[in-house]
A and B are shown apart, each in its own frame.
Chain A
Amino acid sequence: MLTLEKNSLSEEIEELVSLYGENRGSLLEILGAIEKKYGYISEFAQQEVARLLNIHPVEVYSFISFFSFLHSKPQGRNMVRMCKTIACNMKGADNISAVIEKELGIKFGETTKNRRVTLEYTNCLGMCDCAPAMLVNGKIYTNLDVEKAIKIINELK
């Protein structure tokens, strides 16, 4: 990372810390905000958060590793989270997932080479009455079939 980028990231994190509070209780909100903007929380960002909250960087890392929606490695520009829990599974989610994998040439848990899409499985999204369901960049899509899912994925920039 360039020094300039580092400086601006530091400033951003300082702003987040003053917004949410300079204490450990703000960790979820601060990390959530960084993840939302950058798609992950870099090592440098982790160190900055730790420094400003006066905790050890390992604790920040450990926190991140606990939550499936927080990442310490860069992700694709678009995050696709496919529900694989029972109600969606019963309505053919596994078949849709297989077709998506084929279309993108990657497996769930992976990111396309051009960083366009990351595929992740997730558990019940609370949309079981309109299964199958998936989240794309936080937006919910329901009553999926293969055609609909592929169209959504292929339209991602």
Chain B
Amino acid sequence: MSTSAVNPKKRTGPVIFSEYNSGDGIKKAFSLKREDILFELKESKLKGRGGAGFPTSSKWMLTAAASSDKKFLICNADEGEPGTFKDRVLLQEYPELVFDGMVIGGYTIGAKYGIVYLRGEYEYIYESLQFYLQSMRKRNFLGNNILGSNFSFDIKIHLGAGAYVCGEETALIESLEGERGEPRNRPPYPVNTGYMGYPTVVNNVETLAAVPHIVCKSGKWFKKFGTDKSTGSKLFSVSGDCNKPGVYELPWGITIRELLNIVEAENTKAVQVGGASGICIPKSGFDRKLGYEDAATGGSVIVFNEKRNMLQVLKNFMEFFVEESCGQCTPCRIGNVKLLEGVEKIEKGNYTFSYINTLKELGNTMKVASKCGLGQSSPNSFISILENFKDEIFKSNGANNDRVG
């Protein structure tokens, strides 16, 4: 549970950062039947750590059940949500967990090919990952007939090229197929029609890193941690106004207040949970629990102290979405521009309250009418910040609030 200082293996935590020896999960998996692995995974109630929270066992079962001569397993290492950096820490310090998780996944669903989609921004860890894969091949944890079994599996690393939306699984697949990274309509889902049309599992780095632990220590052990709906632990990436920013492994269900104490945050005014796509929680909500059932997050927790101007925070988020929208569908392409415009008008005191309400309605429309998670979630921060900090925002920017912008 230390901070970001590169200090491999000095971290401790209940699940992910607990004791594990490279290869143990693979050996154990090979001694089990595929159904047994799926059973343990189901028992663990592990849900996706990439944000959407889909049950991992269901995804794997669907792909395992699909009949096809080729299947793929993709590790989503595109980590682009503002304030998220735990996948980088896993890849740099715990590659054995991520790659063993991929081999186990391949074995379970019947895939021979694994792909790591590594964001272009992380190119500087590409070589060390290749080196690690090579060492796995030497030990026969990868390649043909792994550990003398009849199962063969290998992993390739693809580099992204700087597009947040390519973290969305179907956009990711599009870009791997040589198309612009524009999300697809769903259904069909990747579990049936994924990479090159073949059944494909896409999992977040942290989801895969949990798998070897579950295989070695059982699903029952895993769900001892966390809450009923959010089992296990979570890696939180904490940044902003606190004395100890960094990656922390904590059981799901911990309250925001408890987390703030751990990271030594003082005079905290607000916490953004879930990155720019998430929600902004004011002091009155600090007893809320982090978990799928309450305040959900793919890991990003950004802390703001009393001195921060929340309208400027919101402006930074909206600029992010305007830049990162793929522009494929109208609610998101135009909507985010309108919301940013709104923030700029508030900044200048150039607004009426009916205009603000229209913008909030627009936000709600975007949530339902956008094609992918980007446009569906970008209004979250707009709505929650204007709602939770309306006194601060409208009092200090109210100079000409009788004029319509």
> Could you tell me the distance in whole angstroms from the C-beta of B3 to the nearest C-beta in chain A?
7
Contact of A77 with B by CB under 8 A: no
Q: Does A155 have its Cβ within 8 Å of any Cβ on chain B? A: no
CA distance A21 to B297 in the complex (A): 38
A67-B161, A68-B163, A69-B162 in contact; A126/B121 too (CB < 8 A)?
yes
Q: Once bound together, how far apart are the Cα atoms of A130 and B246, in whole Å?
A: 8
Stretch at the interface among B99-107, B173-181, B340-348, B368-376: B173-181
- The residue among A25, A84, A129, A138 with the most chain B CB atoms within 10 A of its own CB is A129
B240 on the A face (CB < 8 A): yes
**A150 within 8 Å of B by Cβ?**
no
* CB <8 Å contact, B158 and A129: no
- Identify the interface centre among B160, B178, B237, B272: most chain A CB within 10 Å of its CB: B178
Q: How far is the CB of B263 from chain A (nearest CB, A)?
A: 10
Are A89 and B316 interface neighbours, CB within 8 A? yes
A87 touches B82 (CB 8 A): yes
Q: Does B231 contact A (CB under 8 A)?
A: no
Whether A62 and B237, one on each chain, are in contact in the complex, defined by CB atoms closer than 8 angstroms, is: no
Select one of A63, A68, A86 contacting B302, CB under 8 A.
A86
- Interface residues in A70-89 (C-beta closer than 8 Å to B): 70, 84-87, 89
**Chain B at the A interface: mostly helix, strand, loop or mixed?**
mixed
Distance of B350 from chain A, by nearest CB (Å): 23
Q: Does A26 contact B (CB under 8 A)?
A: yes
Contact with A along B79-100 (1 / 0, CB 8 A): 1111111011000000000000
Q: Which of A29, A62, A90, A135 contacts B180 (CB 8 A)?
A: A62
Is B293 in contact with chain A by the CB < 8 A criterion?
no
Report how far A57 CA is from B247 CA in the complex, Å: 44
> Which residues of the partner chain A approach B247 to less than 8 Å between Cβ atoms?
129
Tell whether, in the assembled complex, residue B177 and residue A24 are in contact, meaning their CB atoms are under 8 Å apart.
yes
Residue A52 at the chain B interface, CB threshold 8 Å: no
| Chain B 293-337: CB-based contact to A (< 8 A → 1; otherwise 0) | 000000000101000100001001100100110100000000000
| 25 chain-A/chain-B pairs, Cβ below 8 angstroms | A24-B179, A31-B161, A32-B159, A53-B178, A62-B180, A66-B181, A66-B326, A68-B161, A70-B162, A86-B82, A86-B302, A87-B82, A90-B240, A90-B241, A123-B82, A126-B80, A126-B87, A126-B119, A127-B85, A128-B82, A128-B83, A128-B239, A128-B302, A129-B238, A130-B245
B residues in contact (CB < 8 Å) with A: 3-4, 79-85, 87-88, 119-124, 158-164, 175-181, 196, 237-241, 245-247, 272, 276, 302, 304, 308, 313, 316-317, 320, 323-324, 326
